[in-house]
Structure 1
Amino acid sequence: MAVWPRAAAMAALPVSVLLSVLMPVLVSVSVLPVSVLAALPAELRVPAGDARQEAAVRALSRRLLGSRAAAVSLFVDSALSPGGPDTYRLRSPPGGAVSVSVTGSSGVAAAAGLYRYLRDSCGCHVSWSALQLNLPDPLPRIRTEIRVTTPNRFRFYQNVCAHSYSFPWWGWERWEREIDWMALSGINVAPAFAGQEAIWQRVYRAMGLNQSDIDAHFTGPAFLAWNRMGNLHGWAGPLPRAWHLQQLYLQYRIVERMRSLGMLTVLPAFTGHVPPGILRVFPRINATRLGNWSHFDCTLSCSYLLSPEEPMFQVIGTLFLKELIKEFGTDHIYSADTFNEMSPPSSDPAYLAGISSAVFRAMTGADPDARWLMQGWLFQHQPTFWQPPQVQAVLRAVPLGRMIVLDLFAESKPVYEWTESFYGQPFIWCMLHNFGGNHGLFGAVEAINHGPFVARRFPNSTMVGTGLVPEGIEQNDVVYELMNELGWSHEPLDLPLWVSRYAQRRYGAPNAAASAAWQLLLRSVYNCTGACVNHNRSPLVRRPSLHMDTQLWYNASDVYEAWRLLLSAGPALGSSPAFRYDVADVTRQALQQLVGDFYQRIRDSFQRRALPELLAAGGVLLYDLLPELDALLGSQRLFLLGRVLQDARSRATSEREAQQYELNARNQVTLWGPSGNILDYANKQLSGLVLDYYGVRWSLFVSLLVECLNTGSPFHQEQFNQAVFQVERGFVYNEKRYPATPVGDTLEIARKIFLKYHPGAAQHGRDGPP
Structure 2
Amino acid sequence: MPLPRRTFLTGLAGTAGVAAVSCSGTPADGVTPHSPASGAARAPSRTAAAEAARRLLPRHWGQIEFRTASEKAGAEDSFRVTGRRGRITVTGTTPSTQLTGLRHYLKHVTHANITWAGSRTDHLPDRLPAPAAPLAGAANTPHRFVLNDTNDGYTGAYADWEYWEHEIDVLALHGYNEVLVYAGADAVHHRAFQEFGYTDAELRAWIPGPAHQPWWLLQNMSSFPHPVSRQLLDARARLGRRICDRLRDLGMTPVLPGWFGTVPPDFEKKNPGARTVPQGDWVGFARPEWLDPRTGHFARVAAAFYRAQDELYGPTTMYKMDLLHEGGKPGDVPVGDAAKGVEKALRAAHPGATWVILGWQHNPPKAITDAVDKERMLVVDGLSDRFPHITDRESDWGSTPYTFGSIWNFGGHTTLGANTPDWAALYEKWRTRKGSTLRGISLMPEAADNNPAAFELFSELAWSDGDLDLTSWFKEWSTSRYGAADPHAEAAWDTLRRTAYGTTRADEWAEGADGLFGARPDLSAKSAAAWSPKKLRYEAADFEPALGELLTVRPELRDSSAYRRDLLDVARQALSNRSRVLLPRVKEAYDAGDAARFDRLTREWLTLMDLLERLVATDSRHLLGRWVADARAWGADAAERDRLAYDQLTLLTVWGTRSGADAGLRDYANREWAGLVGGLYRLRWERYFTALRAALAEGRAPEEIDWFAVEEAWIKDPGRLATRPKGNTYKIAAKVRAHLEGN
The aligned amino acid for 2:171 is M
Structure 2 counterpart SS, 1:603:
helix
Structure 2: distance between partners of 1:116 and 1:640: 32
Q: Is the 8 A contact 1:517 1:565 kept in 2?
A: yes
2:77 aligned residue (48, 69, 86):
86
1:541 is paired with a residue whose SS is coil
Q: How does 1:174-323 map to 2 (within 5 A)?
A: 174-296=163-285, 301-323=286-308
CA distance in structure 1 between the aligned counterparts of 2:554 and 2:613, rounded to whole angstroms: 21
Summarize deviations over 1:690-715 as a string: whole Å, max 9, x none.
02111111112212221222222235
**Given the superposition, is the C-alpha separation of residues 571 and 109 from structure 1 closer, same or farther in structure 2, using an over 3 Å criterion?**
closer
560, 583, 599: which one aligns with 1:615:
599
Gaps of 5+ in 1: 1-37, 381-385, 761-770
Contact preservation (8 Å) 1:443, 1:526: yes
User: Which of 552, 556, 562 does residue 578 from structure 1 map onto?
Assistant: 562
Contact map agreement 1:560 1:758 (CA 8 A) in 2: no
Deviation at 1:686, TM superposition (A): 0.6
1:482 to 451, 457, 464: 457
Counting only pairs closer than 5 Å after superposition, residues 725-744 of structure 1 correspond to structure 2 as: 725-744=708-727
> Conserved in 2, the CA contact under 8 Å of 1:53 and 1:76?
no
Question: How many corresponding residue pairs?
Answer: 697
Residues 314-362 of structure 1 show CA distances to partners (whole Å, capped at 9, x for unaligned) of 111121012212332223211111211124244x8x7010111111111
Q: Deviations over 1:73-104 (max 9, x none)?
A: 1111233x4332111112226xxx75321110
3-state SS of the aligned residue for 1:121? Answer: helix
The answer for the alignment partner of 2:689 in structure 1 is: 702
**1:357-506 to 2 correspondence within 5 Å?**
357-379=340-362, 391-413=365-387, 417=392, 420=395, 422-506=397-481
Distance 2:442 2:35 in 1: 30
Amino acid at match of 1:323: A
Aligned to 2:485: 510
The residue type equivalent to 2:426 in the other structure is G
The corresponding residue for 2:501 is 526
Q: Distance in 2 between matches of 1:695 and 1:175?
A: 33
AA in 2 matched with 1:260: D
Mean Cα deviation higher: 211-220 or 229-238: 211-220
Q: Where do residues 144-163 of structure 1 align in structure 2 (5 Å cutoff)?
A: 144-163=133-152
Secondary structure of the equivalent of 2:403?
Answer: strand
Give the direction of change, closer, same or farther, for the CA distance of 1:224–1:604 in structure 2 (3 Å limit).
same
Matched, 1:107 2:95: yes
What is the CA–CA distance in structure 2 between the aligned matches of 1:309 and 1:552, rounded to whole Å?
A: 48
Contact 2:34 2:41 in 1 (8 A): no
Q: Equivalents in 2 of 1:620, 1:732: separation in Å?
A: 27
Tell me what 1:668 maps to: 651
RMSD over aligned Cα atoms? 2.1
Whole-angstrom distance in 2 between the partners of 1:65 and 1:626: 38
**Equivalent of residue 336 in structure 2, options 319, 328, 353:** 353
Deviations along 1:278-303, one digit per CA (max 9) or x if unpaired, are 2331254211111200233xxxx232
Shift of 1:421: 5.5
Which SS does the other structure have where 2:666 is aligned? coil
Match of 1:126 among 106, 114, 117: 114
Q: Is 2:33 the partner of 1:40?
A: yes
Q: 2:679 aligns with which of 651, 676, 692?
A: 692
Equivalent residue in structure 1 for 2:64, among 72, 86, 95:
72
Note if 1:648 corresponds to 2:631: yes
Please report how far the alpha carbon of residue 63 of structure 1 lies from its aligned counterpart in structure 2 after TM superposition.
1.5
One-letter amino acid matched to 1:499:
F
Task: Give the partner amino acid of 1:86.
Answer: D
What SS is found at the alignment partner of 1:514? Answer: helix
Matching residue within 544, 548, 563 for 1:564: 548
Instruction: Decide whether aligned partners of structure 1 residues 427 and 506 sit closer, same or farther in structure 2, where only a CA change above 3 A counts.
Output: same
Aligned partner letter, 1:510? A
Distance in 2 (CA, whole Å) between partners of 1:281 and 1:504 is 63
Partner in structure 1 of residue 518 of structure 2: 541
CA distance in 2 between counterparts of 1:658 and 1:536 reads 34
Give the counterpart letter for 2:725 in structure 1: P
Amino acid at match of 1:689: L
CA displacement, residues 441-464 of structure 1 (integer Å, 9 cap, x when unaligned): 121111112321122134421111
Change (3 A) 1:66 1:418: closer
- Structure 1 equivalent of residue 128 of structure 2: 139
What is the alpha-carbon distance in structure 2 between the residues aligned to residue 105 and residue 421 of structure 1? Answer: 34
Q: CA 1:231 to 1:322, structure 2 compared with 1: closer, same or farther past 3 Å?
A: same
Q: 2:535 maps to what in 1? A: 551
**Inter-partner Cα distance in structure 2 for 1:255 and 1:539:** 39
Shift of 1:419: 5.3
Letter in structure 1 aligned against 2:712? R
Structure 1 residue 507: Cα displacement = 1.5
CA distance in 2, matches of 1:104, 1:45: 27
**Greater CA drift, 123-132 or 219-228:** 123-132
Match of 1:330 in 2: 315
Tell me, yes or no, if the aligned pair for 1:439 and 1:536 is still in contact at 8 Å.
no
Query: Residue by residue, what CA displacement relative to the aligned partner does 1:463-488 show, whole Å, maximum 9, x if unpaired?
Result: 11112111101211110010111110
1:723-742 CA distances to partner (integer Å, 9 max, x unpaired)? x2222112111152211111
Mapped contact 2:78–2:138 kept (Cα < 8 A): yes
CA displacement 1:233-291 (0-9 Å, x = unmatched): 10113111111111121122111110111111112111211111423312542111112
What is the CA-CA distance between 1:147 and the residue it aligns to? 2.2
Inter-partner Cα distance in structure 2 for 1:576 and 1:372: 42
Does 1:60 pair with 2:44? no
Which structure shows the higher helix fraction? 1
Are 2:49 and 2:66, in contact at CA under 8 Å, matched by a contact in 1? Answer: yes
- Runs of 5+ consecutive residues of structure 2 not aligned to the other structure: 1-30, 527-533
User: Tell me, what secondary structure is at the counterpart of 2:397?
Assistant: helix
Pick which of 311-320 and 278-287 moved more: 278-287
Q: Distance in 2 between matches of 1:40 and 1:62?
A: 22
Mapped to 1, the partners of 2:423 and 2:96 lie a distance apart of 22
TM-score for both structures, normalised by structure 1: 0.87
In structure 2, what residue type is equivalent to 1:65? L
Distance 1:543 1:750 in 2: 26
User: Given the superposition, is the C-alpha separation of residues 194 and 60 from structure 1 closer, same or farther in structure 2, using an over 3 Å criterion?
Assistant: same
Rounded Cα–Cα distance in structure 2 between residues aligned with 1:270 and 1:737: 41
1:222 is displaced (CA, Å) by: 0.5
Report the counterpart of residue 22 of structure 2 in structure 1. Answer: none
Counterpart amino acid of residue 483 in structure 1:
F
Local SS of the residue matching 1:54: coil
Larger relative contact order (C-alpha < 8 A, sep ≥ 6)? Answer: 2
Q: Is the 8 A contact 1:376 1:405 kept in 2?
A: yes
The 1-side partners of 2:424 and 2:46 are apart by: 32
Q: List, as ranges, runs of 4+ consecutive aligned residues in structure 1 with deviation greater than 4 Å.
A: 42-49
Quick check: 1:412–1:447 contact (8 Å CA) kept in 2?
no
Give the deviation of 1:570 after TM superposition: 6.0
Q: Write the distance in 2 (CA, Å) between the matches of 1:726 and 1:451.
A: 47
| SS of structure 2 residue aligned to 1:230 | coil
Structure 2 residue aligned with 1:632, among 595, 615, 621? 615
Shift of 1:642: 0.8
